Structure 1
Amino acid sequence: MTDTVLIAGAGPTGLALAIHLALHDIPVRVIDAATGPATTSRALGLQPRGVEVLERIGALGDLPQRSQSSLNMSYNEGSRTVLRLHVGQAVADQPKQALLISQAEVEGTMRERFAQLGGHVEWGTQVVAARQDDTGVTATVRTADGAEHHIETHWLIGCDGAHSTVRKLAGIGFPGRKLLERLLMIDVRARWPLDKNGSTTWMEAGHMLSVTALPDDTWRVFTEPPSDLPDQLSEREISDRVLSEFSRRSGIGLDTVTDVRWASEFRIHRRLADAYRRGRILLAGDAAHIQSPTGGQGQNTGLGDAENLAWKLVLVTRGRADQRLLDTYEGERRPLARKVLRATSTAVDIMLPHDPWKRLLRDNVVLPVVRLPAVQRRLWLAASQLGISYRGGPLAPAMHRWMPGLRPGDRMPDLTCRHLDGGRTTLHAAISGRWVVLADDQHVAARHVEAAAARLGADLIVALTPVEQPSSPDVMLIRPDGHIGWRDHPAPDKLAAWLNQVLWPA
């Protein structure tokens, strides 16, 4: 088999997974049913966690220079502003910023990075059948000209979105419910007197209309239409309806509108796959979970899936770990997806209640609490996904409750560090798909690297000493996804025992 991993879907999740594998010379093939790259997208933002993922695999490029890094959000009921939020701005102990930029731009930068590593996307190629056994998967794919052929691969990864063919072929259920029956969306060029560093949302009897500023005098407008609106509207009918509703709610005329660049409609669901793995077929991103776009969580959760799965696939395909390590992917990521789905669904239910009593509760109880700075910080941290921890998960059991400070399973903040040769770097930059031994003493770090390299391979481990950080007697092993894997007093034998347990569970 020449294709160790076959990835269906060339969105952010599939590309992030492919880049990570290519960094470690794992043969990977990426196919996508679309005839070419997307030029428009629903997703507009990279949360700080997504920024970190792209940074670690060298795929961030110039996105920060082409993005907005903060967003003022105003929520209005009629002419009255009921809530203002400032999101995306970094805070002292969490310096990463969110980036407001189209998903299509993110994908373009990621494709460039994949190409640098020798990869490319095979467009117009869709999985139509899959058969697996203990040694691999035979996937039948259909190309744009209607021809079908077979691809032999060790692993098939479904990153093919909410309507995932791979998920259906694997027989994995996707239960859930609708959150909003229908949304109409347009991208329009106009000179409107609205905040160009933010969004404005009008809420009216449980129905909403929201406008977000994009570069070059472009605005994204979406609204929940009345239930009696006919189905299958043309793009012109969608744009006319949305613009008319915008003008009615905002009081702004349409005389400066010069171009409607895109018009679409969609429905918002909350769904979670029953399983993330079925034998040699795995799911990631929207194929495994979909939620409300509130807080920009979909794209970012998918990027986290890709990074978590990637380092485990690297070790398994290299023969450095048992296949059971892949089960920890679901064990760590599915509970997180459940929390994200619950949080975004709750946000929709609270901000867009149809019941007048619930609106009263929102205005008099919920909104005053949300205005508090401490609450807004907590909301930002949740949306940023920088507070994600796998404590208590399959690779970080609850036995570490006695440990002060950061524990196994926690995300490790970025640090200024030195390599053993004295060269400076940052922790996250040094990871680049590898494991990092972090210790105050160079000799201690070197001994632990030797113990880890015997299990992981020398090219997957690097040693760093922190610069101007509080001294600690503990040594840490940081995973390729930036989470603490192991922490203890200097003891190479204990580190080796932990890796043996993780890679080759009894």
Structure 2
Amino acid sequence: MKTTPSHPTDHTAQVVVLGAGPVGLSIANYLGQVGIDVLVVEKLDQLIDYPRAIGIDDESLRAVQALGLVDQVLPHTTPWHAMRFLTPKGRCFADIQPMTDEFGWSRRNAFIQPQVDAVLFKGLQRFGNVRTLFSRDVTEFSQDAEGVTLYVDGPGGVRESIRAGYLVACDGGNSYIRRTLDIAFDGKTAPNQWIVVDIANDPLGTPHVYMCCDPVRPYVSAALPHGVRRFEFMVMPGETEAELSKPENMRKLMAKVLPDPDNVELIRSRVYTHNARLAGEFRKQRILLAGDAAHIMPVWQGQGYNSGMRDASNLAWKLALVVKGLAGDGLLDTYEQERRDHAKAMINLSVMAGHVLAPPKRWQGTLRDGISWLLNYLPPVKRYFLEMRFKPMPQYTSGALVASAPAIANSPVGRMFIQPKVLTDEGHHVLLDDVIGSNFAIIAWGSDPTWGLTAEQLAFWQRLGTRFIQVLPDVQMRAEREVAEGVIRVGDSSGRLKEWFGRHPVSIALIRPDRFVAAVAIPQTVGKACDALAHALRATPMPVAQPVASKVA
């Protein structure tokens, strides 16, 4: 039921972000840096201070880089973090440590979430157009054709009203917004709980993450930054958090993994349940769900946090275009269209990894150990697993993109573009995204990326803040040559950009702000590709300049 405010609205914004977790903070940072008026509303009185996620991947670091905060985040990470699965007898049957850095960062990294959340929150202070309200509990909301109205209970029980154009609900797996909208959240809850134990001054000191497939009590041992060690133990039937937290029972758990269970500095322990659930819809008119509000998954592949960051990266730029009037509201439909299938794939992967660690049946553990032994005699298959090639990378086949015409085998459209280091005209070696910023990019190998565009097309893409980038072999950067106005030259220092373009019969890539390839072309077809992408983006047409009336003497 819609409630009409009995008093003037207390707070207004173009976008309200509900929830000051990593997804909400990332969306607010992006919107803030592109000039959107944002209000972040958080139920708690401060950011959550207990560790949750411990794995951040290269895609998430690239998203943080786009927010201009990666230099502050990196000191709280451990790069090139391996994940090792051990049999009950201690044999390592899977040492997963992919060494690729195609997106500019280490594929797997350990981190402590509250420290990175604090960086994201501090980042909001850069923007006068972003405000944060803590200790606000949403009790009622409604939406109409123009926006969303929320009512919150603030400090001291004072009721406040909020009015915004759009609401992004990042309010967790138990999302009040999702439940009130009666959106399904189908999936399963694992029968077993796990207890997490975080210890300061790491008593083991060994690097990496160990998944110990013990049939009596499976456990995880993870080295984290700043000398923190995390242990996770399966809670057995009949055990409770209160019982396990007693000193004598905690000592028994520690004795399983440490020679001296009494000599530890306990930070905290918590019991949690694994869920694998996916929202039936990610959007209801002017309300969008992101992160755990849209999907939750077991922790075993560290993809809950990273899937949420992918949501933020996918949604924020689209919402910005719509709010600015540069794209139609229909662009927001492509958020679910692109993100839903991949989120489901990551849920399935996380469930599978959990079954590898703790098989539901004893015979499945025996089969796992036998297969792992056979893998030693099948190097190509073993590499497939150890290099994490089984991890489904996001690839969009429809949405805010243009399918290659004619069709290209293994088309790069819908995949994330690479991020090598490039040489600038000023002589600096930087990562490619540092040149692109938070914008669209039209990247051309060797040629002028604006050559095939009309003046109207050029003006349209400039209106979206597009960066026009010409890539050359770095040795050619020393040659004097004329560069079209507004074109940025970069040198291909590593040869990776030449190799990327050499794999496909194209020389121009149209890159979205989330670094996904939206279309490909050659100079003679780039104009058509740009027009098709503008249509896919539901982009609004350029305003027509009115002729100036001549004065009559």
TM-score of the aligned structures, taking structure 1 as reference length:
0.89
Shift in CA distance, 217/492, structure 1 to aligned 2, threshold 3 Å: closer
Residues 1:436 and 2:441 aligned together: yes
Residues 1:28 and 2:38 aligned together: yes
* Alignment deviations for residues 111-131 of structure 1 (CA, whole Å, 9 cap, x no partner): 122211233432111222110
Residue in structure 2 matching 1:481, options 508, 514, 526? 514
CA distance in 1, matches of 2:344, 2:233: 26
Residue in structure 2 matching 1:281, options 283, 287, 292? 287
Find the counterpart in structure 1 of residue 3 from structure 2: none
Shift in CA distance, 234/263, structure 1 to aligned 2, threshold 3 Å: farther
Q: How far off its partner does 1:466 sit?
A: 1.6
CA distance in 1, matches of 2:513, 2:176: 29
Partners of 1:186 and 1:242 within 8 A in 2? no
Find the counterpart in structure 2 of residue 172 from structure 1: 183
Shift in CA distance, 460/379, structure 1 to aligned 2, threshold 3 Å: farther
Residue in structure 1 matching 2:170, options 159, 162, 166? 159
Partners of 2:402 and 2:536 within 8 A in 1? no
CA distance in 2, matches of 1:191, 1:15: 30
Find the counterpart in structure 2 of residue 148 from structure 1: 159
Find the counterpart in structure 1 of residue 470 from structure 2: 465
* Alignment deviations for residues 60-95 of structure 1 (CA, whole Å, 9 cap, x no partner): 1332233211334443444432424142x6336565
* Alignment deviations for residues 445-465 of structure 1 (CA, whole Å, 9 cap, x no partner): 365495555445535211111
CA distance in 1, matches of 2:164, 2:258: 58
Find the counterpart in structure 2 of residue 96 from structure 1: 105
CA distance in 2, matches of 1:40, 1:449: 54
Moved more, 409-418 or 419-428: 419-428
Residue in structure 2 matching 1:255, options 250, 262, 269? 262
Partners of 1:451 and 1:492 within 8 A in 2? no
Shift in CA distance, 235/347, structure 1 to aligned 2, threshold 3 Å: closer
Amino acid at match of 2:190: L
Q: How far off its partner does 1:221 sit?
A: 1.3
CA distance in 1, matches of 2:21, 2:202: 32
Residues 1:333 and 2:367 aligned together: no
CA distance in 2, matches of 1:500, 1:214: 44
Q: How far off its partner does 1:349 sit?
A: 1.7
Q: How far off its partner does 1:374 sit?
A: 5.6
Q: How far off its partner does 1:272 sit?
A: 0.3
Amino acid at match of 2:169: G
Moved more, 358-367 or 25-34: 358-367
CA distance in 2, matches of 1:38, 1:148: 24
Q: How far off its partner does 1:43 sit?
A: 0.5
Find the counterpart in structure 2 of residue 233 from structure 1: 242
Percent of aligned pairs with the same residue? 23
Q: How far off its partner does 1:493 sit?
A: 3.3
Shift in CA distance, 398/366, structure 1 to aligned 2, threshold 3 Å: farther
Q: How far off its partner does 1:422 sit?
A: 9.3
Find the counterpart in structure 1 of residue 125 from structure 2: 115
User: Counterparts in 2 of 1:418-433, with a 5 A limit?
Assistant: 426-433=431-438
Shift in CA distance, 154/216, structure 1 to aligned 2, threshold 3 Å: closer
* Alignment deviations for residues 399-457 of structure 1 (CA, whole Å, 9 cap, x no partner): 55732565211111014457799987543222322100111356443654955554455
Shift in CA distance, 417/92, structure 1 to aligned 2, threshold 3 Å: closer
Amino acid at match of 2:465: L
Find the counterpart in structure 2 of residue 218 from structure 1: 228
Find the counterpart in structure 1 of residue 253 from structure 2: 245
Find the counterpart in structure 2 of residue 64 from structure 1: 74
Find the counterpart in structure 1 of residue 494 from structure 2: none
Shift in CA distance, 355/93, structure 1 to aligned 2, threshold 3 Å: same
Partners of 1:130 and 1:139 within 8 A in 2? yes
Find the counterpart in structure 2 of residue 37 from structure 1: 47
Shift in CA distance, 400/349, structure 1 to aligned 2, threshold 3 Å: farther
CA distance in 2, matches of 1:217, 1:52: 25
Q: How far off its partner does 1:141 sit?
A: 1.4
Amino acid at match of 1:504: R
Moved more, 279-288 or 422-431: 422-431
Residues 1:498 and 2:503 aligned together: no
Find the counterpart in structure 2 of residue 408 from structure 1: 413
Cα RMSD (Å): 2.9
* Alignment deviations for residues 32-63 of structure 1 (CA, whole Å, 9 cap, x no partner): 11110222221012111111110112121332
Amino acid at match of 1:104: P
Structure 1 stretches of 5 or more lacking a match? none
Partners of 1:8 and 1:126 within 8 A in 2? no
Partners of 1:449 and 1:462 within 8 A in 2? no
Residue in structure 2 matching 1:3, options 13, 22, 27? 13
Find the counterpart in structure 1 of residue 483 from structure 2: none
Structure 2 stretches of 5 or more lacking a match? 1-10, 474-496, 541-553
Partners of 2:64 and 2:70 within 8 A in 1? yes
Residue in structure 2 matching 1:184, options 189, 195, 200? 195
Partners of 1:419 and 1:465 within 8 A in 2? no
TM-score of the aligned structures, taking structure 2 as reference length:
0.82
Moved more, 63-72 or 406-415: 63-72
CA distance in 2, matches of 1:161, 1:449: 46
Partners of 2:211 and 2:357 within 8 A in 1? no
Partners of 2:43 and 2:135 within 8 A in 1? yes
CA distance in 2, matches of 1:409, 1:191: 42
Alignment partner of 1:41: what SS?
A: coil
Shift in CA distance, 305/269, structure 1 to aligned 2, threshold 3 Å: same
Alignment partner of 2:316: what SS?
A: helix
Larger Rg: 2
CA distance in 2, matches of 1:41, 1:366: 32
Partners of 1:90 and 1:96 within 8 A in 2? no
Residue in structure 2 matching 1:347, options 337, 349, 353? 353
User: Counterparts in 2 of 1:311-330, with a 5 A limit?
Assistant: 311-330=317-336
CA distance in 2, matches of 1:63, 1:100: 11
CA distance in 2, matches of 1:25, 1:220: 40
* Alignment deviations for residues 4-25 of structure 1 (CA, whole Å, 9 cap, x no partner): 1000011111111111111110
Partners of 2:327 and 2:539 within 8 A in 1? no
Partners of 1:415 and 1:466 within 8 A in 2? no
Aligned length: 498
Amino acid at match of 1:256: N
Find the counterpart in structure 2 of residue 199 from structure 1: 209
Partners of 2:446 and 2:471 within 8 A in 1? no
CA distance in 2, matches of 1:222, 1:449: 59
Amino acid at match of 1:37: L
